[in-house]
Amino acid sequence: MPMRTLPMRTLPMRMLPMRMLPMPLPSPLPPIGTSGTSTCRAAESHARQAHPLGSRRKARRFRAWQYTLIFALGLISLAAANCWATPSDAANFTPDEDQRLHKLQERLCDDKELSCAAVSALFADPRLTLYEPPPPAPDQPATAQARKRAQRNPYLTPRFGLLTPESLERCRTFIAAHAHSFDAAYQRYGVPKEVICGHLRIETNFGIPTRLTPNPLGTRPAINQLVSLYVRKPVLRNSNSRFLHRQEFALVQLKDLLSSSQKFGWDLFEVPGSPTGAIGLVQFEPSNFDIAVDSDGDGKVDLFDGDDAILSVAHYLETRGFDRDAEHQKRAIYAYYGGHYNHDPNKFYMRAVLKYASEISAYLKDHPVESAATVNSEPAAVSKPSADGEN
């Protein structure tokens, strides 16, 4: 799925100020001098005048109490600074963004399933970076020609190259490399290899860099993408409700991402993602990680691994109702991209997946996979698009 590259702005760390409440001190008090030494001397003089007997002992006690108080206040201030450290910068970070970032950290810490210490460490990490929001899309195409272009399936354009021999050969090569997983996906979930290939080709081109998509898996950490979604408000007319919706989406995804990080021991700054935080060959958003499949049983899901990706796509489609019924297949494939099936007249993504599945089925007949003797020997019937791919 094509993604726009956003400009990046790296922000230095800044410690948030902490408001300290005044603590009551014992009375009577000596005048506070300009240094610790003068303070202690003043205390000794005052003690001798008020209590001639045992003045040295009382002075020592006072100094010990004073140093203990200073040490305790220092520890409290340090703990507060570590807890609420944020990557903000007065020149590049607005007060509203500063407030949103602070609020986001509080909301994540309030989640009982997350470690607040881990959340605080994440927000204090200098690798936490915010990006500018994408430019606003026009409300509608300005000209008739532009409106006509908007009605064309972007996945079926020559530039995207979905149906080229090179594109089809990538699926054939992927099938040969992961024949066992394709077979398991069909046996467990009833999803044929052609449909799985359609999703992996459109989502990330099987993870293969090309001129059009040199970084199909993304270059920016998913954690930074999601924090930016929550904090940075795009300049849009009447965008308040949209922004609030986007913030709630980002919060849910961040909670699931941090939960998976704690479970699997991920370094989140080493996990690239899309502008909406989608991850891996399958481009699963964190809220779908519970559907991902561990293919080798090692207890860890790796969405960048081909075998895990194949089974995860098949499992997702099965949970969305994929079976031998053509209409059920369409709805399950459409759900992978998201949207309102009954109100979307175009259904570009669904139609592109089905078109690719149809084309690769014919391609494999002419170019059989040598090691695929057991792969989908009796494939499920796949809904076929019309000749132009527009179903």
Write the DSSP assignment of 196-233 as a string of letters: HHHHHHHHHGGG---SS-S-TT-SSBHHHHHHHHHHPP
Residue 200 CA to residue 317 CA, distance in Å, equals 13
pLDDT of residue 332: 98
pLDDT of residue 352: 98
Determine, yes or no, domain membership for 130: no
**Same domain for 75 and 162:** no
pLDDT of residue 43: 44
**Same domain for 160 and 72:** no
For each successive 10 residues of the chain (391 residues), what is the average pLDDT? 41 38 42 42 46 56 63 50 45 84 97 96 95 64 63 93 97 98 98 98 96 93 96 80 93 98 94 96 97 94 97 98 98 96 96 98 95 46 52 46
Determine, yes or no, domain membership for 108: no
**Same domain for 344 and 224:** yes
Residue 364 CA to residue 366 CA, distance in Å, equals 5
Determine, yes or no, domain membership for 118: no
pLDDT of residue 124: 95
Determine, yes or no, domain membership for 104: no
Determine, yes or no, domain membership for 103: no
Measured over the CA atoms of residue 229, residue 231, residue 233 and residue 234, the dihedral's sign is negative
Classify 192 as helix, strand or coil.
coil
Determine, yes or no, domain membership for 20: no
**Same domain for 338 and 254:** yes
**Same domain for 221 and 354:** yes
CB contact at 8 A, 357 and 194: yes
**Same domain for 295 and 197:** yes
Six-digit token string for 325: 């019924």
**Same domain for 311 and 179:** yes
Determine, yes or no, domain membership for 27: no
Beta strands, E only, the chain: 8-9, 130-131
**Same domain for 313 and 167:** yes
Residue 332 CA to residue 380 CA, distance in Å, equals 15
Tally of domains within the chain? 2
**pTM summary value:** 0.73
Residue 356 CA to residue 201 CA, distance in Å, equals 9
**Same domain for 65 and 157:** no
Classify 264 as helix, strand or coil.
helix
Residue 241 CA to residue 244 CA, distance in Å, equals 5
Count other C-beta atoms under 10 Å from residue 149's C-beta: 12
Count other C-beta atoms under 10 Å from residue 19's C-beta: 5
pLDDT of residue 254: 98
| Distance in angstroms between the alpha carbons of the first and the last residue of the chain | 20
Report the relative pairing of strands 8-9 and 130-131 from DSSP bridges.
antiparallel
Nearest to 254 by CA among 223, 282, 233: 223
Say which residues have a Cβ less than 8 Å from residue 139's Cβ, sequence separation at least 6: none
**Same domain for 163 and 58:** no
Determine, yes or no, domain membership for 376: no
Residue 308 CA to residue 192 CA, distance in Å, equals 16
pLDDT of residue 281: 98
| φ and ψ of 279, to 5 deg | -130, 145
* Domain range enclosing 77: 36-83
Nearest to 17 by CA among 102, 93, 133: 102
Six-digit token string for 125: 């990490």
> Can the peptide bond before residue 28 be classed as cis, meaning omega within 30 degrees of 0?
yes
Count, residues in the chain? 391
Say which residues have a Cβ less than 8 Å from residue 39's Cβ, sequence separation at least 6: 30, 32, 33, 66
